[in-house]
Amino acid sequence: MEIHRFEKLWLVAAFVLIAAFIATIVYGSLVAGVSMVSDDGGTVDPDDITASENFREPGVYQAGDGEYDVYVEARQFAFVPGTNSPIRVPANTEVTFYITSSDVTHGFDLVGTNVNTMVIPGQVAQLTVEFDETGTHHIVCHEYCGAAHHDMEGTVEVVAQENFDTEEVTEA
Ligand code: CUA
């Protein structure tokens, strides 16, 4: 059977594209550190998020030497903490976020980082990250959650370890 030259060209191009798409996924997961948000955080009762063992009073907790846990409640239209007071964490430590919603689905995107998750009522999104540099990251809600969705934002401040005041954390 005779295959037209252009037909062959398109066949090759299609396979090259498929290989390239697979390569980007492999690169993303092995090199760029892209991963799925862990569901290890488990579930909570959205009507009473701190009643569950999986969730604490929102805030920053020292989890160990150089390890911090950050519990965040997302609700219409604020991150607690994050919106009224910035979330302060030290650089070059292991920071694990536990984020849940007490009303509707929200988003939690740390601009300039790969921290990005949907926040679903009843589900705790768990992400561990290490900030290499000090600086301020904007938190954006990127899931439409109601009339003031566009105003739902917050701040994460990454400070040098020597400037981090341990008074700011709750002992675990
Ligand atoms: Cu919360 Cu949009």
Give me ligand 1 centre to Cα 146, in Å.
7
Of ligand 1's listed atoms, the one at least distance from the Cα of 77 is 1
pLDDT at 24: 95
| DSSP classification of residue 4 | P
Give me ligand 1 centre to Cα 148, in Å.
8
Whether 56 is in the pocket of ligand 1, judged by its Cβ within 6 Å, is no
pLDDT at 101: 94
Question: What's the rounded Cα separation, in Å, for the pair 118 and 107?
Answer: 4
Give me ligand 1 centre to Cα 154, in Å.
11
Whether 152 is in the pocket of ligand 1, judged by its Cβ within 6 Å, is yes
Q: Name the more confident of 32 and 99.
A: 99
pLDDT at 77 > cutoff 90:
yes
pTM for the full model?
0.82
> Coil, strand or helix: which one is 2?
coil
pLDDT band at 9 (very low <50, low <70, confident <90, very high): very high
pLDDT at 140 > cutoff 90:
yes
